[in-house]
């Protein structure tokens, strides 16, 4: 098999920017490169303000806290996501309400969201799973009709678009991750985006130990924490952002090549990408295995791994089936049969499979087909 493209990727540009920071007296969050990166990424996603922080878990918590969400409030979240989507809600003292997903988009089902709305509901937290956005037409309408905040967990959706509008720009605020496996990374890091100036100020105070502009370093007005993004991370992320468009466009060119090579492989249904998603970063290559393949999902993944293709079986349980929620942590859940079915038959492949040229992508896909055939 051809060699897989590597990730993370760096060039001399990261080193150049890091050297600039290292030569300065300020390596922490107060270096100008942090604000420059925040502004650049916010503009890239169609927002006015960006507030960086140490990781994408913290940015979810910051976003919820700055929105005034806390004890007595409920936040509707999908049953399929990484734990941070739910745990951030719990950490601010609110109650996550789990709803089912659509069967092949892997994103929250707006019909279930509508059913889950109750007097205590404060917000809808939409997750753009794998890269394609959730149904932002329906979710925006629901939020507006019921007076709810619309928030976005866009950890997978850098550069993604719904009808030409970038992920992260639909509601009050959004959270992005720059963890090591994301399509742009500094190893760790995160950011909250918003176009609401007052909300951005609350975010900055919260991540900077409750400080406010114009006061001394030792005046603290809110109960915050030190979640600041360092200048070293911002330097790397600046270089990563500069080449993000080129990388996304390459993956978008390569996906049809990959899919065409596997078109004859019956029993694999790839993630449904709605027509409204006109730009997909292909963070994950998601699929579901059915009986026509002739092998189980786990055997399917084992064969790919043995062939050198990193294949991950889906999450081992839905969010509400995590021990901390089954153990008594406050939550509410609607029936989620589709999410539970995915636990047994879904898988994902990493975006780096699409980061080579056309020939390399074609050979990787043929390796996948050979491995599945046994």
Q: What is the pLDDT along the chain (374 residues), one digit of tens a residue?
A: 568 999 999 999 999 999 999 999 999 999 999 999 999 999 999 999 999 999 999 999 999 999 999 999 999 999 999 999 999 999 999 999 999 999 999 999 999 999 999 999 999 999 999 999 999 999 999 999 999 999 999 999 999 999 999 999 999 999 999 999 999 999 999 999 999 999 999 999 999 988 999 888 998 988 889 999 999 999 999 999 999 999 999 999 999 999 999 998 899 999 999 999 999 999 999 999 999 999 999 999 999 999 999 999 999 999 999 999 999 999 999 999 999 999 999 999 999 999 999 999 999 999 999 999 88
| H/E stretch holding 248 | helix 244-261
Q: How far is CA 91 from the centre of its chain?
A: 19
CA distance 235 to 239: 7
CA distance 81 to 92: 18
Cis peptide before 182 (omega within 30 of 0): no
CA distance 191 to 38: 8
Q: Is the pTM of this model over 0.75?
A: yes
Strand arrangement of the beta sheet that strand 346-350 belongs to: 268-270, 284-289, 346-350, 312-313
User: In Å, how far are 269, 350, 374 from 361, measured between CA atoms?
Assistant: 19, 13, 20
3-class SS of residue 297: helix
CA distance 9 to 299: 31
- Residue in this structure with the two tokens 């859940």, named with its chain if needed: 333
């Amino acid at each position: 098999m051809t060699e897989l493209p590597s990730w993370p990727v760096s060039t001399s540009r990261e080193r150049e920017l890091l050297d600039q920071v290292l030569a300065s007296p300020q390596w922490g969050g107060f270096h100008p490169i942090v604000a420059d990166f925040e502004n650049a990424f916010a503009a890239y996603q169609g927002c006015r303000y960006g507030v960086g922080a140490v990781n994408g878990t913290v940015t979810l918590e910051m976003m919820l806290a700055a929105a005034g969400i806390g004890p007595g409030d409920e936040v509707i979240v999908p049953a399929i996501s990484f734990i941070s989507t739910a745990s951030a809600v719990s950490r601010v003292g609110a109650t996550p309400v789990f709803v089912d997903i659509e069967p092949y988009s892997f994103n929250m089902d707006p019909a279930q969201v509508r059913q889950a709305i109750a007097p205590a509901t404060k917000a809808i937290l939409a997750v753009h799973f794998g890269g394609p956005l959730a149904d932002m037409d329906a979710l925006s309408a629901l939020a507006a009709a019921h007076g709810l905040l619309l928030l976005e967990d866009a950890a997978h959706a850098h550069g993604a678009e719904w009808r030409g509008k970038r992920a992260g720009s639909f509601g009050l605020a959004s959270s992005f991750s720059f963890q090591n496996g994301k399509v742009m990374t500094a190893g760790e890091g995160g950011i909250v985006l918003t176009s609401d100036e007052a909300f951005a100020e609350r975010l900055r105070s919260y991540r900077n130990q409750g400080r406010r502009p114009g006061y001394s370093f030792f005046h603290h007005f809110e109960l915050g924490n030190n979640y600041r993004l360092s200048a070293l991370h911002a330097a790397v992320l600046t270089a990563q952002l500069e080449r993000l468009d080129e990388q996304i466009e390459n993956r978008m060119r390569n996906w049809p090549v990959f899919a065409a090579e596997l078109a004859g492989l019956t029993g694999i249904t790839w993630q449904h990408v709605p027509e409204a998603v006109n730009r997909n970063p292909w963070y994950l290559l998601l699929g579901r295995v059915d009986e026509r393949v002739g092998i189980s999902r786990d055997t399917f993944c084992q064969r790919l791994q043995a062939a050198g293709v990193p294949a991950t079986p889906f999450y081992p349980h839905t969010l509400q089936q995590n021990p901390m929620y089954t153990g008594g942590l406050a939550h509410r859940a609607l029936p989620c049969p589709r999410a539970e079915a995915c636990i047994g038959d879904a898988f994902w492949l990493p975006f780096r499979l699409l980061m080579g040229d056309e020939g390399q992508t074609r050979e990787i896909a043929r390796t996948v087909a050979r491995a599945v055939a046994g």
